[in-house]
Structure 1
Amino acid sequence: MLKKILTWGGLAFLVFFVAYRPDEAGNVVSSLAGGIMDVANGFANFFTNLVTG
């Protein structure tokens, strides 16, 4: 029951954030995407060095 309430609350907050603060929401998404790309590049470098090293 608590998980369902938290899920719907998070979704409502997300909709509110995007609707009323679209610039900040875009910045958050951009930062998250950049972080994910950094992690992906780190894994790629690790495996490249593992195979060629």
Structure 2
Amino acid sequence: MNRVKKILLWLLVAFAAYAIFTSPDQAAQIVKTSGSILADGVRNIGSFFDALLGR
């Protein structure tokens, strides 16, 4: 099982490198969008707990 995980990880790294080298602008946009989605999610969770605690 460990060997399968290692192979899948290398395939993922190879695909990411290929995506970055073939279209760096689009890859940068994907990373920027992903970071924005993550930040919004964390902010919304904070707002939820603030509302739950009545702050």
| TM-score, normalised relative to structure 2 | 0.83
Structure 1: gaps spanning 5 or more residues: none
> Once the two structures are superposed, what CA deviation does each residue of 1:5-43 show, in whole Å capped at 9, x if it has no partner?
110010011111111210110111011111101111110
Given candidates 28, 38, 51, the residue that maps to 1:26 is 28
Shift of 1:50: 1.5
Over aligned residue pairs, what C-alpha RMSD do you find? 1.2
| TM-score, normalised relative to structure 1 | 0.85
